[in-house]
């Protein structure tokens, strides 16, 4: 029981429960099942983006272009739907995933083949993809009346009290969990970030693993492009502006180490829900958007400090254990 309470995910879950309890005392019905389901549904896109970001961060990289990828893909799919309303929705969704994966592959190519720093590459492609979105649309919006009802209504349809968007988030969480925990590529992702040198000696192609992580991140961002446009029934150039930082924040709050190789799917989900609860609750209790930004930034800083101290303490324990073991081995000799 004590070891369970010491886990980062358990503490974060308890904090979220305390927050919901506190906010419900200020806003009637905040803790109702209907409202909580709505919060989860609203946070589903952030959860998927956080998982996309997590796969990259685990390999000791970062993807600052996920939101720009989402914007370009969402705009492209919305324009296709408006111009060719007869195309089945399943093909549009597959096209969104393929476009996102292609944009992610561009990031992976520069990081893998040209060995460029991921933060430099994705900072550049962030600007490029945003510019491509403007060029593609000419700065114009695609509004709800230009999209087909099926395109808009499928993610909003309710199943067992939860919209399809929320169920898609649950399915993605389950798939990423299974991939990272029970597949060779998942183990390679952790190894590539945890100890790249040891991973090479173990026969893992670190560059190829990072390339795959960027492609997967792009594919998930592309899926989010469709989900965002259909959820809010509009496509414009500044879609999800700043969401790349929210995805990184969710990962950091959830305990995913920026140094790579450390983190869990549960942590990324809880980090996203933490931000989702804050963003949904603070306006209800009358907190201004600027104060919300300050609170979110403060939480991120504390999370980074907590992660750094935890990793530093682990290192001290390892050194201390070795110093204790060496004299005992000398005595036995």
**Whole-number Å distance between alpha carbons of 16 and 13:** 5
pLDDT confidence band for 311 (50 / 70 / 90) = low
- Whether the pLDDT of residue 1 is over 60: the answer is no
**Whole-number Å distance between alpha carbons of 15 and 278:** 12
Cα within 13 Å of Cα(251), Cβ side: 29
- Dump pLDDT digits (tens) for 198-228: 888 888 999 999 999 999 999 999 999 999 9
pLDDT confidence band for 144 (50 / 70 / 90) = very high
pLDDT at 308: 63
pLDDT at 171: 97
Beta carbons of 63 and 217 less than 8 angstroms apart? yes
- The residues pairing with 158 across neighbouring beta strands, listed in sequence order, are 163
pLDDT at 305: 72
pLDDT at 5: 45
**Whole-number Å distance between alpha carbons of 248 and 304:** 11
pLDDT at 333: 47
Interval 280-301 mean pLDDT: 74
pLDDT confidence band for 309 (50 / 70 / 90) = low
Interval 13-29 mean pLDDT: 85
pLDDT at 179: 95
pLDDT at 233: 92
User: Average pLDDT, whole number, for the chain?
Assistant: 86
Distances, alpha carbon 56 to alpha carbons 177, 198, 220, in Å: 14, 19, 12
Interval 299-316 mean pLDDT: 62
Q: What's the CATH class of domain 2-289? A: mainly alpha
**Whole-number Å distance between alpha carbons of 247 and 84:** 32
Backbone angles phi, psi at 249, to 5 degrees: -60, -45
Distances, alpha carbon 70 to alpha carbons 30, 79, 148, 297, in Å: 30, 14, 20, 23
pLDDT confidence band for 307 (50 / 70 / 90) = low
**Whole-number Å distance between alpha carbons of 254 and 205:** 27
Beta carbons of 281 and 30 less than 8 angstroms apart? yes
**Whole-number Å distance between alpha carbons of 238 and 67:** 9
Q: Name the residue with higher pLDDT: 250 or 2.
A: 250
Distances, alpha carbon 17 to alpha carbons 21, 172, 175, in Å: 6, 24, 26
- Dump pLDDT digits (tens) for 41-80: 999 999 999 999 999 999 999 999 999 999 999 999 999 9
- Dump pLDDT digits (tens) for 145-166: 999 999 999 999 999 889 999 9
Distances, alpha carbon 72 to alpha carbons 47, 151, 181, 190, in Å: 19, 17, 31, 30
Distances, alpha carbon 155 to alpha carbons 28, 47, 171, 233, in Å: 28, 16, 13, 11
Q: Could you tell me where the beta strands, DSSP code E, fall in the chain?
A: 142-143, 158-159, 162-163, 234-235
pLDDT at 312: 57
> For the chain, what are the domain ranges?
2-289
**Whole-number Å distance between alpha carbons of 81 and 167:** 23
Counting other chains too, the contacts that 170-177 makes at CB distance below 8 Å and 24 or more residues apart are 172/47, 172/48, 172/51, 172/220, 172/223, 173/47, 173/51, 173/265, 173/269, 176/51, 176/54, 176/55, 176/265, 177/265, 177/266
- Whether the pLDDT of residue 326 is over 50: the answer is no
**Whole-number Å distance between alpha carbons of 239 and 69:** 10
- Dump pLDDT digits (tens) for 245-254: 889 989 988 9
Interval 275-298 mean pLDDT: 76
**Whole-number Å distance between alpha carbons of 333 and 316:** 26
pLDDT confidence band for 119 (50 / 70 / 90) = very high
**Whole-number Å distance between alpha carbons of 27 and 282:** 10
């Amino acid at each position: 029981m004590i070891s369970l309470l010491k886990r980062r995910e358990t503490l974060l879950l308890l904090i979220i429960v305390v927050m919901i309890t506190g906010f419900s005392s200020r806003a009637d019905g905040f803790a109702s099942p209907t409202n909580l389901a709505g919060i989860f549904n609203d946070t589903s896109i952030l959860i998927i983006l956080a998982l996309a970001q997590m796969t990259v961060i685990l390999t000791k990289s970062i993807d600052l272009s996920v939101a720009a990828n989402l914007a370009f893909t969402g705009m492209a799919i919305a324009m296709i739907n408006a111009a060719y309303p007869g195309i089945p929705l399943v093909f549009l969704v597959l096209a969104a995933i393929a476009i996102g994966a292609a944009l992610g592959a561009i990031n992976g190519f520069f990081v893998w083949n040209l060995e460029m720093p991921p933060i430099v590459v994705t900072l550049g492609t962030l600007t490029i993809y945003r510019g491509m979105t403007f060029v593609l649309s000419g700065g114009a919006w695609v509004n709800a009346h230009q999209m087909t009802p099926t395109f808009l209504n499928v993610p909003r349809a309710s199943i067992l009290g939860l919209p399809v968007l929320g169920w898609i988030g649950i399915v993605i969480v389950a798939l990423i969990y299974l991939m990272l925990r029970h597949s060779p590529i998942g183990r390679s992702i952790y190894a590539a970030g945890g100890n790249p040198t040891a991973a090479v000696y173990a026969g893992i192609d670190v560059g190829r693993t990072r390339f795959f992580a960027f492609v997967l991140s792009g594919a998930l961002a592309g899926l989010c492009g469709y989900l965002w446009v259909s959820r809010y029934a509009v496509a414009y150039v500044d879609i999800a502006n700043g969401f790349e930082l929210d995805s990184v924040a969710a990962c950091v709050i959830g305990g995913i180490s920026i140094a790579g190789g450390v983190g869990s799917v549960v942590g990324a989900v809880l980090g996203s829900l933490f931000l989702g609860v804050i963003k949904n609750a603070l306006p209800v209790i009358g907190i201004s958007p600027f104060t919300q930004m300050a609170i979110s930034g403060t939480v991120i800083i504390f999370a980074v400090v907590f992660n750094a101290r935890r990793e530093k303490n682990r290192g001290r324990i390892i050194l201390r254990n070795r110093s204790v073991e060496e004299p005992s081995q000398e005595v036995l000799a």
